[in-house]
Amino acid sequence: MIHFEWPWLFLLLPLPWLVRLFFPATGSARDAALRVPFFEEFEEAKTRTSQIKIKQKSLWFAVIAWLLLVVASTRPQWLGDPVSLPVTGRNLMLAVDLSGSMEVEDFTLAGHQVTRLYATQAVAGKFIERREGDRLGLILFGKQAYLQTPLTFDRETVQTLLHEAVIGLAGQETAIGDAIGLAVKRLRENDAGERVLILLTDGANTAGEVEPIKAAELAAAEGLKIYTIGIGADEMTVRSLFGSRKVNPSADLDEATLTAIAEKTGGRYFRAKNTEEFEEIYQLLDQLEPVEQEKQRFRPASALYPWPLGGAMLIAALLILNRSLTGIQILSHAPSIKQE
């Protein structure tokens, strides 16, 4: 069906008639005086008849253009059939570490060594794509934590902004407590449904103003459940001038604190040492029980105003062109004054 967003604008339809009624055109007497025939070769009757016909046609086209312009201003829309949206009632926030250590290449993806951030973007991106019905938000943190995406049903935007994140964007250190505090603040603004935070990091809290445990206690008081994920391989071969040696690239990972955060909020701590374990963790997270709510229904709307607006502009352009050509024709047929 067709729907007009601003139907009250149809009241503008008689506006040109009112303007002509209260503000009539001036100078008609002068024009009549100038039309006194004094050139014998000037075909007065024929010219006037032609001009009257042109004006009548132009008037009708102008009326049509005005009608189309008013219709376009009311924002006509075509409403489709009602569509049901699956809504779980869950508000799910992702907090992703962007500190310098996320640049370590200890993950394998499609047979290639990749950074921890790249693996996170690949695996978490698929997770976001599957979260149909959840309100998703994205927090990026390093030395500071900031909200990249507020809670939204637009999974594609959240996924895009996650893939656009770069290491060091928020600083080289890790502010886990501030990230939790920011999530609590943002989720507090939307207290309907279940609230979940998935926090991913590869290190320990080295920056920020809020201690992670204190932030977790605040989250528990607010009913926010936190799932923490510690990423990074536990063994990695490093080559140097003195040969190869094995090191632990995750030596700085504070698993004790991450476990405590999860336990205080009723969540769970996960450890991802490789891409396979990473994907398994997100598959487990997919099994979070939703809080059922009534389905939301909406009708997709397609804007129709460009069609009447384009028609009005086209007619206006034709009227201007026709008026210009008519003026040129009149001037070309005007006789010159003979001097004796």
For residue 8, what pLDDT is reported? 92
Q: What would the two tokens of residue 192 be?
A: 């309907």
**Residue 200 lies inside a defined structural domain of this protein:** yes
In a shared domain, residues 97 and 67: no
How far apart are the C-alpha atoms of 290 and 192, rounded to whole Å?
A: 12
In a shared domain, residues 170 and 44: no
For residue 117, pLDDT beyond 70: yes
Instruction: Kindly state the percentage of the chain with pLDDT values over 90.
Output: 35
In a shared domain, residues 48 and 145: no
In a shared domain, residues 288 and 319: no
**Residue 109 lies inside a defined structural domain of this protein:** yes
Q: Rounded to 5, what percent of the chain is helix, strand, coil?
A: 45, 20, 35
In a shared domain, residues 208 and 308: no
In a shared domain, residues 39 and 91: no
In a shared domain, residues 186 and 109: yes
For residue 288, what pLDDT is reported? 64
Average pLDDT estimate for 39-56 = 57
For residue 305, what pLDDT is reported? 85
CATH number of the domain to which 219 belongs = 3.40.50.410
**Residue 48 lies inside a defined structural domain of this protein:** yes
In a shared domain, residues 180 and 329: no
Which of 36-45, 83-92, 156-165, 316-325 has maximum average pLDDT? 156-165
In a shared domain, residues 257 and 164: yes
Q: What would the two tokens of residue 242 be?
A: 């003195």
Number of structural domains found in the chain: 2
How far apart are the C-alpha atoms of 72 and 279, rounded to whole Å?
A: 51
In a shared domain, residues 261 and 305: no
Domain that holds residue 309: 2-79+300-333
**Residue 340 lies inside a defined structural domain of this protein:** no
For residue 326, what pLDDT is reported? 66
Average pLDDT estimate for 296-305 = 75
